[in-house]
Amino acid sequence: MIPILSSAAMQRADEATIQQFGIPGFTLMESAGRAIAQCIKQQFQPRQVNIICGKGNNGGDGLVIARNLVAQGIRTRVVFVGTPEEATPDVRQNLLLLAEIQQKDPVAPLHFWYYSGPEVLYTLPRPDVWVDAMLGTGLNSDVREPHGSIIHWLNQQPEPIVSVDVPSGLDATTGYALGVAVKARHTYVIAAYKTGLWLGDGGSFTGGMDLLEIGIPAHLIQEQALSEGGAWLPTEKWVQKMIPVRTNLDHKYRVGYLMTLAGSPEMTGAATLCTWAAERVGAGGVICATSSASQAILARKFTTAMTLALPEAPDGGLDPSGLEVVQKRLEKSRAMLVGPGLGRATSTKQFVRYWLTQYPDPMVIDADGLTALAESPNLLQKHAQGKWVLTPHWGEFKNLVGDHQLDETARFSLVRKYAQEWNCVILLKGFPGLVASPDGRVSINPTGNPAAASAGTGDVLAGCVAGLLAQGLSPFEAAVCGYFLAGKASDRYIKRNAMAGMIASDLLEELPRVLYEIQTSTT
């Protein structure tokens, strides 16, 4: 997986590189600027580039970009927002280098201005591309003037904008605009992805992204990804390594059997979707335990999955006598999925809560299973023991925490906190999808799209996770891979169909194709 760092974690990695390895900050700035200049040349083949630089290190990167573009004969206009006295030492050094070029080579394709007001921008010739190098990862308060006005003006220009490391005005940790932010066509990310590029509104500002290596040792970045504020981004190659490969000696029980406790007469669709999804991601077999009324319906739907009828209670839920029925059929199941479409009858919730205290193996808890759990949250710390995967959306997460005033903008830190506190894996649905482990790791899911805003897609997701859990993946691995696959299936669907037309069962058709593409990929 690819490490992702908060602003503070990135700063620690920078400082460790300078202090432990003796690589000067000026050298890192030079590497970043040179790499970005080369990317701009390759991507846009510009004849003229306009660069707006701030007084911090982000602006220093912009000055290095300018110097490298000029060296390649590209007409470059630079506007510096600030004064040399306000700039960092490395930035001042780069200002001197640009001034030296102008003095020694009067015909160099370089023009430089200190920002003195908006008229400086108005007089600039039209470029092929704008470079935003004003505000970097250190920004942690609302954008001040004149930067705010410059950003507003820049966003109105017709030419493409590329940002250095992070679009100016975007909080590099949270992903929310601090008053106003540059809307870039492309962002050239330096050394490591920042969490704010993936969280909050980050994706609305970054455009496309390229990650550029500049000489910071990889192990320093990986160490910081494990620290508070760090995260991980699963890749197709990583998922490929996680997905089990079958051998000639495998049979359905060796591959991995799953039991689902799902469905009620009003919601047999949820049981169907999660069961089929588990089969589609490779579970060797699935048995669906459900109320006797639901079983009569599901038995006609399933052709490969088995069903298990459970006695009904007077309120229409599950009777406690069904606990023994489930126990007898669990012998060959490696994992269990509890909740999709179960209903919220009092007897059913009591059934679920008792079962959570008895089942010793890995388990996914979703939907109505989470509702039952939220009424007895003490079960989490007593029984999860690192083996449970909870799959809530934001509303269900608030119910589990018991606080309906939780700030959704803090979902990243909250999901990490409660995964550790409850000793379980939490897959928090939404954008972006987050998977947090009890050991502090957090994964940000890079796949999926708004087509998943449709009934039943959560049931498919739960089935994907449970199906992988039954095949022997750890709870964290199963949750990360299951989310990746379900999102990839949605991405694949909308390449050929209208986003609004996707229904949950469409994902079931795409999942085997997604698995094939991942397993046969050589990149």
Q: What is the pLDDT of residues 292-351, one digit of tens each?
A: 999 999 999 999 999 999 999 999 999 999 999 999 998 889 999 999 999 999 999 999
Whether the predicted model's global pTM rises above the 0.85 cut = yes
The reply to whether 195 and 300 lie within a common domain is no
Residue 206 lies in a domain: yes
Q: Based on the fold, state whether residues 220 and 106 are members of the same structural domain.
A: yes
pLDDT higher than 90, residue 74 = yes
Same domain assignment for residues 213 and 307: no
Residue 215, C-beta contacts closer than 8 angstroms, at least 6 positions apart: 17, 23, 27, 28, 31
Residues 458 and 362 both lie in one domain: yes
Residue 383: its pLDDT value, please?
96
Last residue of a domain, one of 228, 243, 260: 228
How many whole angstroms separate alpha carbon 438 and alpha carbon 424? Answer: 6
Where residue 321 sits, what CATH number does that domain have?
3.40.1190.20
Asked if residue 465 is part of any domain, the answer here is: yes
Q: Is residue 29 domain-shared with residue 146, that is, in the same domain?
A: yes
**254 has a pLDDT exceeding 90:** no
| Residues 69 and 196 grouped into a single domain | yes
Tokens 């799953």 found at: 258
Candidates 402, 401, 368, 361; CA nearest to 384 is: 361
Domain boundary among 213, 228, 243: 228
Residues 203 and 334 in one domain: no
Ramachandran sector of residue 45 (left: φ over 0; alpha: ψ -120 to 50; beta: rest) = left
CB-side neighbour CA atoms (13 Å) of 10 = 21
Residues 143 and 260 in one domain: no
Using the predicted structure, report yes or no on whether residue 206 has a pLDDT greater than 80.
yes
- Domain membership of residue 244 (yes or no) is no
Indicate if the pLDDT at residue 133 is higher than 80: yes
pLDDT for 522:
84
- Domain annotation covers residue 237: no
Residue 239 lies in a domain: no
Note whether 199 and 12 are within 8 A (CB). no
Tell whether 204 is covered by a domain.
yes
Instruction: Cite the beta strand spans of 429-474 per DSSP E.
Output: 434-436, 442-444
Owner of token pair 């490395």: 90
Segment 212-228 shows an average pLDDT of: 93
pLDDT on residue 227: 85
Q: Rounded to an integer, what distance in angstroms lies between the CA atom of residue 418 and that of residue 388?
A: 13
Give the model's pLDDT for residue 255.
85
CATH number, domain at 6?
A: 3.40.50.10260
Q: Please tell me whether residues 298 and 213 are part of one structural domain.
A: no
Residues 325 and 423 grouped into a single domain: yes
What pLDDT does residue 228 have? 81
Domain check: are 77 and 34 in the same one?
Answer: yes
pLDDT tens track for 100-130 = 998 888 889 999 999 999 999 999 999 999 9
Q: Structural domain tally of the chain? A: 2
Summarize pLDDT for 483-500 with one digit per residue, the tens: 999 999 999 999 999 999
| Alpha helices by DSSP H, 133-251 | 147-155, 202-206, 218-225, 236-242
51 pLDDT higher than 90: yes
Contacts of 270 (CB under 8 A, 6+ apart): 262, 263, 340, 341, 367, 456, 459
What pLDDT was estimated at residue 229?
A: 82
pLDDT value, residue 216: 95
- Reference 367, options 292, 463, 431, 442; nearest CA is 463
pLDDT tens digit sequence for 140-165: 999 999 999 999 999 999 999 999 99
Share of the chain above pLDDT 90, in %: 94
State which of 195, 228, 261 marks the end of a domain: 228
Q: How far apart are CA 403 and CA 426, in angstroms?
A: 17
Q: Which residue has the tokens 């997905």?
A: 243
Q: Is residue 523 pLDDT above 80, yes or no?
A: no
pLDDT at 127: 98
- DSSP label at residue 126: P
Instruction: Write out the residue range of the structural domain in which residue 177 sits.
Output: 2-228
Quickly state the pLDDT bin for 447 (edges 50, 70, 90): very high
The pLDDT score that the predictor gives to residue 331 is 83
Whether residue 398 is found in the same domain as residue 516: yes
Percent of the chain with pLDDT over 70: 100
pLDDT at 376: 96
Quick one: tokens of 402? Answer: 């018991």
The stretch 196-224 carries a mean pLDDT of: 96
CA distances from 148 to 126, 176, 177, 250 (A): 21, 15, 11, 62
Give the pLDDT of residue 252. Answer: 86
* Residue 233, domain member (yes or no): no
| β-strands 48-53, 75-80 pairing | parallel
For residue 56, the model assigns a pLDDT of 96
Q: Strand, helix or coil at 260?
A: strand
The two beta strands, 231-233 and 257-261, are unpaired
Average pLDDT of the chain is: 96
